[in-house]
Every structure is written in structure tokens, then in C-alpha cells.
Structure 1
């Protein structure tokens, strides 16, 4: 059974999600919080396996909650739940350490599958969210974008992608991988070509969508 910490500022929403999750024998809500500020204390008290957290909350947002976990050195699989599909929030959530991103109108089956996927150490971004994000980023030019499956990536290329997803610059990636900034710049260019995209943001989104990182 997967133990879940549920974080949402709206009591009715929390109760609704909790009731929905109770229909699955695979899941159990062991704790609740109303904002990101309470997350660390709730983790200590409830010992959850995974966090379901609203991305927008008035006192402290879900992204701020993730950042406080990073600062405290707490690593716990987290799925962001939201009614919004703002591509900037998706990227911020990914960079802050979120492993999943779902809209709140998903079915119980989809939510359970997402929780199991993220609990297994994988990353999941709801396809509808990814498509919306890509459309929002494309603007009026679409000729440079391809939605064909990406070419196979090497382990080193995947390592570079993960650091790109974490928001690292070419210089920072080079320092972490003990390579020159020029070498990383060339690797990033090759990655964009392999993935069939024209910038780093699209590269990260496509890699997540296809389960490459």
C-alpha cells in the first residue's frame, strides 16, 4: 500500500480527493496539509511514501513546498495537482523536483496509475498537459518542431538532460560532469537534434513525455 500525504488549501477538495483515493485498496492517505509551509512537519509526522500537492496555494505554494524540501535535503516523490495548465508552472515544478504533474479532473484510474508510476521512481506528466505546454511554447512557428519518437540517447546524454531539467546552465552542467562548457554546448545541440526540438524547454518536456529521464 502506498502511503500518501495530501496537500491542498481547500478542505472540500482534500476531502474529495481523499474519498476518491479510498476507493483503491492500493492507496492510503496518511496525512493532510493546507499549504506548502506544513509539508516538512507532516512528512516527519506521517512518514508518507508520496506527496500529492496542489501547485497554487495562498500561504505557500506547492512549488515553494518542494523547494523547502530540497533545502532540507528531503527527497520524496511528489505529484503536482492543479486546475491550471500554465507551462511556466509545469517547468517550475519540474525544476523544483516534482516527478508528476496532473490536472485535477483526471479519473481515479489515471490518478492511481500516476501514483504507482511515480512511486516506482519514474516521471509522469499528463499527456494533455504536455501537449498544452508545447502549444504554448510554439508560438506561431511550428516548422522546427517534430513529434516523431526521439532517437535513442546515451547514458551521458540522459545525464545532461536531467541536469537541463533541473535548470542547470551549460557551465553548471560542465562543472558537475567534469567537462568544458563548449563540450556541453555541443552535446546540448546534438540532443536537440536527436529529440527533434529547437530549444532546451521542449527537449526536457519531450524527454519526460517519452520517459527518457
Structure 2
């Protein structure tokens, strides 16, 4: 697997990078201490997995995940962090992050998480799973249903963002250099994929899954 690792602490970045390189499933590892530089790399390179920290000053891991999914919706993302509070876990879940593992995890668990998330499955460490299944948190039903994010294309996510800005099909067409008919076709496909009835449904879904922000 070709993996990108993002963490703003260089000593952690170096040690994790060395650990990842030692795993038989990893063929190449590229490390970044700045999320913005990682985004630039991800945009032009083909890779199999993104592993990111959560707490970073420039852009946190969830924001990074949202930006990555706009460019490459199907790229698996694993969050590796010291933070196990429920809000962080929920934000990661809603940002489309497939796995959540603590930095105290051992080598075996890290490899299991990489294998699972790289294969398109979800992976949550034991402590994280307990938080998700806690009835008081309201996430148990969502998790048990295993509701997967519909397979949206980068263009569809781009159009969803513009719909969220209250732009009409004609305005979107002009901005993206498309015909209004093409935009309408994308809009129809988005409604079908998301299982909603209209533009309001698109916007509501997009806010819930951090595709657009208030």
C-alpha cells in the first residue's frame, strides 16, 4: 500500500513513519507535517490510504478529511490520535473517516486497522467502539446500521457545495464551464444517490456529513 501520513509533530511523524515502513503491507510512505502540503500531494498522486492526526494548528484531521474527500471521495482515511472524546469520534465519523485508532495502539492493532480501512471497511479501536455504542451518545443506531456514504464523484461533491451556496443550475454551469443540462443531470444523480427528494434534502445531507459547512 502507498500511504500518506500527516502529523504536525515531527518526532511522532518520524517514529510513526519508521513503524509504517516496517509493515509488510506498506510499499511506500510519504509524511507531511503540514496538512495543506499533504492536500497538494494527494491531489496529484495516486495512493491507497491517508492516515492523519486530529489536533493540528493549521487544519485538524476532520477538516483535512473533508477536503480530501472533495478531491478523492473514495480514498480511505484512518485517524490516529491521542484524543478519544466522543465529539472528536463523532466528527471523524461524520467526516467520512473509516477508522479511528489511538496512538497508544500496538503494532498489531495498527496493521489490522490499516488492512481493514484500506479494504474499504470500518475499524474502531475498543475504547472508541465503547463510546460509539454508548446509548447516551445517540450513535449506536447509526453504527449498527452501517450506513455507508454514497459513492459521490468529485464533481458531484463540487456541485453539492455550490448548491449549498444557493447557486442556480445556470450559475453552477457558468462557474464550472458546463452546460445547464449537464448540471441538471448531476443534480438528478445526486438526489438519487442520496435518497432525498429535492435540493433541500441535498443541503441537509451535505451539512450532516460535513460536505459543506455553515
After TM superposition, the score normalised by the length of structure 1 is 0.63
- Kindly state the Cα deviation for residue 43 of structure 1 after the two structures are TM-superposed: 1.3
1:10 aligned residue: 9
Query: SS of 1:91's equivalent?
Result: helix
**Cα RMSD over matched residues?**
3.2
Please list, as runs of the form range in 1=range in 2, the aligned pairs for 1:146-157 lying within 5 A after superposition. Answer: none
After TM superposition, the score normalised by the length of structure 2 is 0.62
Query: SS of 2:36's equivalent?
Result: helix
CA distance 1:63–1:119, shift in 2 (3 Å): same
Please list, as runs of the form range in 1=range in 2, the aligned pairs for 1:96-115 lying within 5 A after superposition. Answer: 96-115=95-114
1:125 aligned residue: 124
CA distance 1:175–1:20, shift in 2 (3 Å): closer
1:199 aligned residue: none
1:75 aligned residue: 74
CA distance, structure 2, for counterparts of residue 176 and residue 49 of structure 1: 25
Q: Which runs of 5+ in 1 are unaligned?
A: 151-156, 164-172, 180-213
Please list, as runs of the form range in 1=range in 2, the aligned pairs for 1:161-200 lying within 5 A after superposition. Answer: 161-162=147-148, 176-177=194-195
Moved over 3 A (4+): 132-135, 173-176
CA distance, structure 2, for counterparts of residue 60 and residue 94 of structure 1: 17
Q: Is the 8 A contact 1:33 1:42 kept in 2?
A: no
- Greater Cα shift, 90-99 or 18-27: 18-27
Q: Is the 8 A contact 1:21 1:28 kept in 2?
A: no
CA distance, structure 1, for counterparts of residue 71 and residue 24 of structure 2: 32
Aligned pairs, number:
157
CA distance 1:47–1:73, shift in 2 (3 Å): closer
- Kindly state the Cα deviation for residue 27 of structure 1 after the two structures are TM-superposed: 1.1
Q: Is the 8 A contact 1:8 1:54 kept in 2?
A: yes
CA distance 1:97–1:178, shift in 2 (3 Å): closer
